[in-house]
Amino acid sequence: MTETKRVAILGSTGSIGTQTLDVIRQHTDKFTVEVLTAQNNCDLLITQALEFKPNAVVIGNESNYGKVKEALIPHDIKVFAGQKAIAQVVEMETIDVVLTALVGYSGLIPTVHAIKAGKQIALANKETLVVAGEIITALAKENGVNIYPVDSEHSAIFQCLVGEFHNPIEKIILTASGGPFRGKDRAFLKTVTREQALKHPNWDMGAKITIDSASLMNKGLEVIEAKWLFGLKTEQIEVVVHPQSIIHSLVQFEDGSIKAQLGLPDMRIPIQFALSFPHRFKSNFERFDFTKYPQLTFEQPDLKTFRNLQLAFDALAKGGNAPCILNAANEIAVAAFLNREVGFLEMSDLIEETLEKATFISHPSLEDYIGTDLEARAITEKLIKSKV
C-alpha cells in the first residue's frame, strides 16, 4: 500500500473517534484526515482540527457553529453545522473511507449517504445494522462497498474469516466480558447506581455503550449486527461470557475446527485493522503475555437476570422492524437511567413494553425504519413519564 487513505471520522471526539486519531498519529504516511465531525464537544473538535488540518469539519449542534467557524476559518478549514451536513459531507469526492463512530441511531442516515456515494465503511456504529441491516447490506452490495467492522468482536470474526470466505460457517461465538455485574442477581441489580454501572472492568468506552455492556444489551446488539455482517441465521450465533476479554470472538467451521482471535482489550487494534485491511501495520500497542493470564474462563450468560440479551435474540428472530424498535427503546431507556429517572432493571421492562406496543412491520422500507424509530422513542418516553 503506497497511497494514503483519506479518512472521514464521524464522531471524532468520542472514545472510538479519539482512538482512531491515535492510530492515524502513528501512521501519518498511510492516512490523512479529510473530515471530522462532533455533536457537542466543539473545544475538542477545534483542537483536533488544528492538529490534523482536515478539509472540513461539522459540528452537529448548530448553536456551536459560530465558535468553531471563528477558530478554524483562518486555517482554511471548511466548517458546517447540523445533522444534514453530517450526512452530506461524507459524499465529498476526496474521501476514501468513512469511519462511523456516531452513537446509536444517529449513525444510520450518514452511513446510507456514504454507501450511496461509494465510500468504503469502517463501522463502529453497530446500531446502523441493528436498525436497518437488510437495507444497509443490500445497498453496500449494490454500490460495491465493503463494510469493515470496528467492534472488537466483529473484527475478531472478520480476522478469523480472512482466507476462509469460501468455507461455510457452522456458527460464530461472540464473547462477552459480563460487565461489572457478572454473577449478580436481580435483587442486587435493582439497587445499582449510575456510577456503579459506568465502571467497566476491561474496556474504556463512552457512557451509553458502557451501560449497554453492563445490561448485556451491547452483546444483544452485536448479535443482530453479526447476522447482517456475516450473513448468518439466528441459530448460528452463540454468546459466551469470557471475563478476561482476551479472546474477542470465535468462528466454528463445518469440520469442527474453531478459530479465535486474541489480544489485549485495546480498541485501537480493530480500528487500525479496519482502516488498513488487507494490510497489518506495525503498532506500538502493548502486547499480550500468556504468562500474565494463566487462566481464560468461559460461562453461559444469565439470560433471566440480564434480560436484554434475550430480548435482542427475540427481536432478531421476529425480524422486520423489531430490532429497530428494540434499539430505539433501549436508547431512551439508557438515557433515562443515566439521568436517574429509572432503575437498572426497569430498562428491560421499558424495552419489552415498547416491543409489545409499537407497530410491527414485517418488510420495512428506510422510511418505515425512520418512522418506527420515532414511534418507539415516543412510546418509551411516555412509559417513563407514567412511572416517574
String of DSSP letters for 8-59: EEETTTSHHHHHHHHHHHHTTTTEEEEEEEESS-HHHHHHHHHHH--SEEEE
SS3 123: strand
Chain segment 249-292, per-residue pLDDT in tens: 999 999 999 999 999 999 999 999 999 999 999 999 999 999 99
Residue 254 CA: distances (Å) to CA of 156, 170, 247: 19, 5, 21
Q: Helix 346-357 to helix 366-387 angle, to the nearest 10 degrees?
A: 130
Mean pLDDT of the chain: 94
Q: How confident is the model at residue 229 (pLDDT cuts 50, 70, 90)?
A: very high
Mean pLDDT score, 309-319: 96
- CATH classification of 5-149 is 3.40.50.150, yes or no? no
E strands, the chain, are 5-10, 31-38, 56-59, 78-81, 97-100, 120-123, 147-149, 169-176, 237-241, 247-253, 258-262
* Beta strand segments in 202-284, E: 237-241, 247-253, 258-262
- The rounded percent of the chain whose pLDDT value lies above 90 is 89
Q: What pLDDT is attached to residue 388?
A: 65
Question: DSSP string spanning 72-90?
Answer: HGGGT-EEEESHHHHHHHT
Cell 445533522 belongs to 83
Would you call 218 exposed, middle or buried from its count of C-beta atoms within 10 A (0-12, 13-18, 19+)?
Answer: buried
Query: How many Cα atoms within 13 Å fall on the side-chain side of residue 380?
Result: 30
> For residue range 173-205, what is the model confidence (pLDDT) as tens digits?
999 998 889 999 999 999 999 899 888 666 556
According to the model, what pLDDT value does residue 202 have?
Answer: 63
Residue with cell 465503511: 121
Indicate the annotated binding residues for 1-deoxy-D-xylulose 5-phosphate: 126, 152-153, 177, 200, 213, 218-219, 222
Cell of 228: 447482517
**Residue 1 pLDDT class (50, 70, 90 cuts):** very low
**Is the pLDDT score of 145 beyond 60?**
yes
Domain with CATH 3.40.50.720 in the chain: 5-149
The domain made up of 319-388 is a member of CATH 3.40.50.300? no
CA-closest candidate to residue 8, choices 67, 40, 47, 49:
49
User: Residues 95-126: pLDDT tens digits?
Assistant: 999 999 988 788 899 999 999 999 999 999 88
Report yes or no: 225 and 147 within 8 Å, Cβ to Cβ.
no
How far apart are alpha carbons 58 and 38 in whole angstroms?
7
Task: Give binding residues as ranges.
Answer: 13-16, 41, 125-127, 151-153, 177, 200, 206, 213, 218-219, 222
Q: What distance in Å separates the CA atoms of residue 225 and residue 380, rounded to the nearest whole number?
A: 23
Q: Alpha-carbon distance 12 to 115, whole Å?
A: 19
pLDDT for position 3: 81
Res. 50: pLDDT tops 50: yes
Q: Where in the chain is the domain with CATH 1.10.1740.10?
A: 319-388
pLDDT tops 80 at residue 225: yes
Say yes or no to pLDDT of 153 above 90: yes
Answer positive or negative: Cα dihedral of 363, 111, 164, 173: negative
